[in-house]
Structure 1
Amino acid sequence: MATVLLLRHGRTTANAAGGLAGRQPVELDDTGRDQAARVGERLRKLPLAEVVTSPLIRCRQTLEIALPDLAHQPDEGLIECGYGDWEGRPLKELAKDPLWPVVQQHPSAVVFPNGEAMAEMSARAVKTIRKWDDLITKEHGPEAVWVACSHGDVIKAIVADALGLHLDQFQRIVADPASITAIRYTPTRPFVVRLNETGDLASVVPPKQADSDAAVGGGAGGGAV
């Protein structure tokens, strides 16, 4: 089977401000545009068979900067989780919501008010990735490499599935802005070849006042300024 490179979009204005963008049309900030340019330098060295993306503008901007010469196929299956009433609110405010500890410890049970269930997000994202991987393998062969640009929680859910983890464990996974996570699917099991690869050691520096909670939506990344 082919190998998919899961690319998270670059840092956005909402990431920098500590907000939960959700499906709002937030755009990359200057740091995010620089991240997209740097990840593009690495991606353009590969013979990419296909590029698929969430339709949200922050993903499209990332690819327009990183891979300007390749066509990008939008797929709603890779769109951000539908956070409903949480969308657009500061993460510090959301951390006081009674739903927050459930999101952290038992995400498989979470249904966001007027939004999407995290289990539904996980199922449609995994289905989308496996669908494209099968199509690309049939068209380009098992050595093909392709890119799927999406969002932090979506990528974490796909990785959890590939690792055979229950969704309740997916908050243990990190997907920083403009990071690459590589998964190779085979007839018997997926292999996680790379995880949260940024090519920048600054991403291992924890943010100020780091705690045990995961950043819903993926956050701005470790070492972000």
Structure 2
Amino acid sequence: MATVVLVRHGRSTANTSGILAGRLPGVELDELGREQVARAGERLAAVPLVAVVTSPLERCRSTAAAVAAAQLTQPAPAETLDDDLTECGYGDWQGRPLAELAREPLWKVVQRHPSSAVFPGGESMAGMQSRAVSAIRRLDRAVEAEHGAGAVWLAVSHGDVIKSVLADALGMHLDLFQRIRVDPASVSIVRYGADRPEVLATNTVAGELSWLAAEKAASTATVGGGAGPRAAEADPS
């Protein structure tokens, strides 16, 4: 089983200005965002990433480049762009202030019943989840086939996209995905097994992750929860 590390882009200029950036070009990381992604790179520096796949939007590409540049154990692979990891197609909502959008009737649908939400001139949230989950699972199979079951790879994307992937991995209906929080430059970790996905972490913004390089994936869930990653790291076998 390969392991995917899901990283949201760092804080962007649109985040700080309260604008729904969507797929607008030219939206980059702000100063804090650059600091955030540098920290994410430091956290993952000791984890050998065999592939780096990113949304094609600038804020994600900058994030992926920063994480890849921090790799210590091997030269980082070149970033690969995948359109299926791009931001939700917000259509006519794109580029508008969030405070203004919050007064729209659709806002409540997005909050309470996102599976029914279709952005005018854009994408449905269900469609976003479908293409994102399909992409992550497709890429994960390809990574495992090429690099083996212990491989770890990086996917850099956007808040709603990562939330929808985590909701799927957790077996949650899309209408519950607003219960999941994904902060800028946060790290979430999923491993897709034969029986089910295993969510190793969500929305972490601090703490070292070197244990991920040494952890051995189990084929089934351990009854009682197991001893945790440190035991796997200490196991000499």
Give the AA of the match of 1:58: R
User: 1:87 maps to which residue?
Assistant: 94
Q: Give the C-alpha shift of residue 64 in structure 1.
A: 1.9
Aligned: 1:34 with 2:32: no
Give the AA of the match of 1:115: G
User: 2:14 maps to which residue?
Assistant: 14
Structure 2: 5+ residue stretches without partners: 70-75, 208-237
RMSD over aligned Cα atoms: 0.9
Q: Give deviations 1:150-207, integer Å, cap 9, x for gaps.
A: 000000000000000010000000110000000011011001100001007xxxxxxx
User: 2:235 maps to which residue?
Assistant: none
| TM-score of the aligned structures, taking structure 1 as reference length | 0.87
CA distance in structure 1 between the partners assigned to 2:165 and 2:64 by the alignment: 20
Q: Find 2:125's aligned residue among 118, 129, 135.
A: 118
Q: Find 1:103's aligned residue among 102, 110, 135.
A: 110
Give the AA of the match of 1:196: N
Q: Give deviations 1:16-56, integer Å, cap 9, x for gaps.
A: 11111100121000000011111111112101111100000
SS at match of 1:124: helix
Aligned: 1:147 with 2:157: no
CA distance in structure 2 between the partners assigned to 1:49 and 1:169 by the alignment: 32
User: 1:132 maps to which residue?
Assistant: 139
User: 1:212 maps to which residue?
Assistant: none
Superposition pairs of residues 1-225 of structure 1, within 5 angstroms: 1-25=1-25, 26-68=27-69, 69-199=76-206
CA distance in structure 1 between the partners assigned to 2:43 and 2:111 by the alignment: 33
SS at match of 2:10: coil
Q: Give deviations 1:84-111, integer Å, cap 9, x for gaps.
A: 0111111111110010000000110111
- The 8 Å contact of residues 50 and 77 in structure 2, kept in 1 or not, is answered as no
CA distance in structure 1 between the partners assigned to 2:11 and 2:150 by the alignment: 31
Q: Give the C-alpha shift of residue 65 in structure 1.
A: 2.1
CA distance in structure 2 between the partners assigned to 1:39 and 1:181 by the alignment: 11
Q: Give the C-alpha shift of residue 66 in structure 1.
A: 2.3
SS at match of 1:181: strand
SS at match of 1:199: coil
Equivalenced residues, count: 200
CA distance in structure 2 between the partners assigned to 1:196 and 1:18 by the alignment: 21
Give the AA of the match of 1:10: G
SS at match of 2:155: strand
SS at match of 1:99: helix
User: 1:210 maps to which residue?
Assistant: none
4+ residue segments displaced more than 2 Å: none
Structure 1: 5+ residue stretches without partners: 201-225
Q: Give deviations 1:109-163, integer Å, cap 9, x for gaps.
A: 1110000011000000000000000011111111111000000000000000000
| TM-score of the aligned structures, taking structure 2 as reference length | 0.83
CA distance in structure 2 between the partners assigned to 1:45 and 1:108 by the alignment: 38
